[in-house]
Structure 1
Amino acid sequence: MRVTSSAAAGLRLELSLVQPVLWGAAAGMWRSDSGLSDRYRRYLRTMHQVIRASVPLMERAAQRCEALPGDPVAVPLARYLRAHAEEERGHDDWLLADAAVTGMPPGELTRPGPPAHVAALVGAQYYWIEHGHPVALLGYIAVLEGNAPAPGLADRLAHETGLPRTAFDTVRLHAGLDGGHSGDLDRLLDELPLDDAQRTAVSVSALYTVAALAELFDRIAEAPAAPHSPSGEPR
């Protein structure tokens, strides 16, 4: 039995219990050391693989809503998803532009075949959209937009890596945009006539997303071993 009538407040309470895991993984990824530039490039590559799926996910969830006649959640949810998809459209291109400024080779971010941990993060949402209720996607959105980059992170990264400030435009923009998006999502969660099963679907999706995103950050943070010459000296 839920102790609050607010779906948004209930979700935020549940997330507060697990978010330290995500914050710790992010701190490891952004730690100040000589590998920060390489980790940032890995971040751009990985997040492009994630973000390029955002609009297709929302569009598919909206289509599923529109195939649920008589569902009181479906109509307002589809309206939100269609509008939010337009707000998010092109954000993957921001990451491509940032990567180009860092000197990453053209096409490196758009190569096919994302790694399994990226597919696991995003792919679970497709499963719940197709075989559960598309409202589950709100848990995923809540985590991604509720953990926007901290204000000032972009400037710190530019200072510590020596890369141009324009290499961090996506980090800077999301630090400002996602707070407002989180407020919109909270209002939607409280306005939707969610039943217990739908609230649970949102919660399960959100908690899973925290765990999968923390693993993704941990993998970015794991610097590859430096190559060595046959004599044992670093190349």
Structure 2
Amino acid sequence: MSKMLTAESILELCDKPTKALLEAPWHDKGFYAEWLAQTGHFVKHSTRLLTLAAAHCNEEQTAYHNRFIPHAAEEKGHDKLAIMDLKNLNLNFNDFPEAAATQSLYQPQYYWIQFKSPLAFFGYILCLEVIAKNAGHFICEKTTKEFGPKASHFIRVHAEEDEGHVEEAMKMVAGITGPDELYIMQSLAQGCDNYIKMLEYCRSKATATKYRAVG
């Protein structure tokens, strides 16, 4: 059986959410605010998911266990960056309820980790980090121009950090075979589809709540 989990297959799956990010209306304060808020909601789970994945690794998966732990430390407090950006747009994170589309993005990862394999979580990691690497600098340029550097902390940090993270994650998954390889691909595909749905929510919410796009 040929290997499914290749750099080419990963990039191909991430192409649609990357394109959706590049085509998003970053000049629209309402859309950007919704994106920051929903991002803050799901990023709160990053450290929890990473430590959960680390805890579920068996002794043969020690190399992955040892990577998940420092990765959790690196992600600590990143939700606060999105919340701070909202504050610098003169908006309050608590005014933005978590969308069902956002829940659909991260909630399946608790299932993958606990009932399939902790290595499945690499699919989610790759989804988020590849799209940040491919679209992050573009988004940062657009949002900094429209709203200033004080409202672009989150995307700036991830555009810079995820370049190295993607390379490292690619190396980590290169040797994975068997059921774990399939789980990672399924988790990745699911994450990419659900990220697009979250972006669609942000677009529709911003359009319906126009008062957030002014001010």
TM-score by length of 1: 0.80
Q: Does 1:62 align with 2:54?
A: yes
For 1:84-103, list aligned pairs within 5 A: 84-103=71-90
Q: Does 1:82 align with 2:74?
A: no
Q: Deviations over 1:139-176 (max 9, x none)?
A: 110110111143243232232x3x23210011111111
| CA gap 1:62/1:104 in 2 versus in 1, 3 angstroms | same
Superposition RMSD in Å: 2.2
Partner of 1:25: 20
Equivalent-residue separation in structure 1 for 2:166 and 2:19 (angstroms): 21
| Same amino acid, percent of matched pairs | 20
CA contact (8 A) 2:136 2:158 kept: no
CA contact (8 A) 1:155 1:165 kept: no
Equivalent residue for 1:168, pick from 152, 166, 177 = 152
Q: Deviations over 1:102-127 (max 9, x none)?
A: 10126436x6xx32211111111100
Equivalent-residue separation in structure 2 for 1:220 and 1:88 (angstroms): 23
For 1:222-233, list aligned pairs within 5 A: 222=204, 223-225=206-208
Higher helix fraction (1 or 2): 2
Equivalent residue for 2:113, pick from 129, 143, 147 = 129
Q: Which has the higher contact order (CA 8 A, sep 6+)?
A: 2
Q: Deviations over 1:39-59 (max 9, x none)?
A: 110011000011111000001
Q: Does 1:13 align with 2:8?
A: yes
Structure 1 unaligned runs (5+)?
Answer: 228-235
Q: Does 1:2 align with 2:19?
A: no
Equivalent-residue separation in structure 2 for 1:96 and 1:226 (angstroms): 19
Could you say what secondary structure the match of 1:29 adopts? Answer: coil
Larger gyration radius, structure 1 or structure 2:
1
Could you say what secondary structure the match of 2:136 adopts? Answer: coil
Q: Does 1:38 align with 2:30?
A: yes
Equivalent residue for 2:198, pick from 216, 223, 229 = 216
Number of residue pairs matched?
A: 208
